[in-house]
A and B are shown apart, each in its own frame.
Chain A
């Protein structure tokens, strides 16, 4: 009886209680993320599916060397980085800007309708979206028809001209994701105390001032976290999107690490090699996150961990 009381006392001590609250989640990570993560060791082996990890031959850095030796490695790394940076530079601010603008809409029914419509493209797969855009931008398609009629220029082969490729890729990507991306910022803004705005208006602050003095600071933690999480996957690309838009004429600017891995994977049975490439991307991502996190700590005081 005394012991049971002691136990309850122990379990309700703040540090123990809070730890217990975290236990289910931590167990989940252990089983479904950490244990499989250890499977990445196959990048250092010649993974033999049948004999398993424990009986596969150890080859150290051989697969990584193979990756660096690959003739086109610099090319695809460059493409991956460039596209990643474009996507970050344009695609990251876009949902934030849009969320801020939605926030300014006063008419409630208009705001809610707009929100419900903007996220629709998120639900379509790239195969569908991609085909639509290819048709749209085709030499015989509507966009070129417009250009020919109104501007009297020759049809532009948008999809097969390397100079347009990255821009099209990033733009279509933004179109598809921006509406969905606003949701998290809107949720964050919903948590801001409205009396802060009322007070600011009373002090004569205009819309711009309200945004910079109240909204943005309140959103800063979310912005920083989202940015860092994004950066961690800088080298990861949406294979579905790439494969639909990629064609032989734009490979020089469009072939990225993930499409290369996809092609290698098609020939099959190269688990160790593709895992090694994945690890390479992750290491780059990790370095970026850690260093940018340090910077953020100094600049904004926000840190991801």
Chain B
């Protein structure tokens, strides 16, 4: 890489900007972490910023002891993993098919899908569909209805369209049928977009709670965000000053809330770093050598 002087300046500025930006993005998390480790006295008086005061682990002890939090975590992990797999199945197949110029009815179908993207889905009919499919109060109701989104279809289709045709030609010459072209050629070449769409679905699935409100009645099947909502959000909106006092001494409501939020966000935040290798430039193009 030729090293121009302006190059070095650019890199310096760029790196500096990212450091500053990174700090700004990190601050709220650090603040939450500090809150989750501080004692109520300091929290109430708004004296906790980025460093815990009155350090104690009572908040996390409470969380560890809450069986329902762990169960909800398990439910969320399950519906995220399986739900994402289901979503990828629907999305990749449909988007691939729509990216092929010889797909019958392509234009019409895409327009219809656009309509579903723009027009809202009414809650009551949505609920009734799931009910009529006998999915109420099952984990399926949390994984199936939201397993396909127009937004994702459009993005994925765009990526598939960008795949170079030579490999497909080569495949056809070798006698591959459409299914094989999809499975053996298109998919392996699309790992970045599979990783991306999978990540998006996973995060969406992880953060979702609306479906759980209307479809799930059994508290054992609540995903983690339902509980976060209870603890961090809803409980604060009405005037029922409740009984965190039942928990020993140092634990204040805000401390537990901060801890629960971090607890609920932690697993999903870890997914992206693991997927980063799919975002490396040119990593997937090894199969196509001029």
Whether A and B touch directly in their complex, counting CB atoms under 8 A apart, is answered as yes
Task: With A123-B265, A123-B268 as known contacts, state yes or no: A190 contacts B233, CB within 8 Å.
Answer: no
- Looking at the complex, which one of A15, A127, A184, A232 makes contact with B102 (CB distance below 8 Å)? A15
Cβ of B214 < 8 Å from any Cβ of A? no
**Which residues of A approach B to under 8 Å, CB–CB?**
12, 14-15, 17-19, 21-22, 24-26, 28-29, 31-40, 42, 49, 53, 98, 101-107, 110, 112-125, 127-129, 132, 135, 175, 179, 183-184, 186-195, 201, 206-207, 218, 221-222, 225-226, 229, 232-233, 271, 275, 278-279, 282, 285-286, 289, 304-305
Q: At the interface, is chain B mostly helix, strand, loop or mixed?
A: helix
**Contact present for B283 and A132 (CB under 8 Å):** no
Cβ of B122 < 8 Å from any Cβ of A? yes
CB neighbours (8 Å) of B167 from chain A are none
CB neighbours (8 Å) of A18 from chain B are 97, 100, 102-104, 178
**Contact present for B122 and A124 (CB under 8 Å):** no
- CB proximity of B99 to chain A, nearest CB, Å: 10
- Looking at the complex, which one of B111, B178, B276, B285 makes contact with A115 (CB distance below 8 Å)? B276
**Contact present for A229 and B102 (CB under 8 Å):** no
Cβ of B248 < 8 Å from any Cβ of A? no
- Looking at the complex, which one of A31, A101, A192, A194 makes contact with B14 (CB distance below 8 Å)? A101
- CB proximity of A283 to chain B, nearest CB, Å: 8
Q: How many A-B residue contacts, CB cutoff 8 Å?
A: 257
Cβ of B119 < 8 Å from any Cβ of A? yes
- Looking at the complex, which one of A22, A116, A226 makes contact with B276 (CB distance below 8 Å)? A116
**Contact present for B103 and A37 (CB under 8 Å):** no
Query: Which A-chain residue is minimally distant from B122 (CB atoms)?
Result: A39
**Contact present for B177 and A22 (CB under 8 Å):** no
CB neighbours (8 Å) of A279 from chain B are 119-120
- Looking at the complex, which one of A22, A191, A233 makes contact with B285 (CB distance below 8 Å)? A191
Query: Which A-chain residue is minimally distant from B127 (CB atoms)?
Result: A36
Query: Which A-chain residue is minimally distant from B277 (CB atoms)?
Result: A112
- For the complex, give the distance between the alpha carbons of A206 and B5 in Å: 12
Query: Which B-chain residue is minimally distant from A286 (CB atoms)?
Result: B118
Query: Which A-chain residue is minimally distant from B164 (CB atoms)?
Result: A193
Task: With A28-B90, A118-B22 as known contacts, state yes or no: A187 contacts B279, CB within 8 Å.
Answer: yes
**Contact present for B162 and A37 (CB under 8 Å):** no
**Contact present for A40 and B148 (CB under 8 Å):** no
- For the complex, give the distance between the alpha carbons of A285 and B118 in Å: 7
Query: Which B-chain residue is minimally distant from A35 (CB atoms)?
Result: B129
Cβ of B24 < 8 Å from any Cβ of A? yes
| Interchain Cβ contacts under 8 Å between A and B, 24 examples | A17-B178, A28-B148, A34-B116, A39-B126, A42-B122, A112-B273, A114-B22, A117-B26, A124-B28, A124-B32, A127-B232, A129-B28, A183-B196, A183-B199, A186-B279, A194-B285, A195-B290, A218-B162, A221-B162, A229-B155, A282-B118, A286-B118, A286-B119, A305-B111
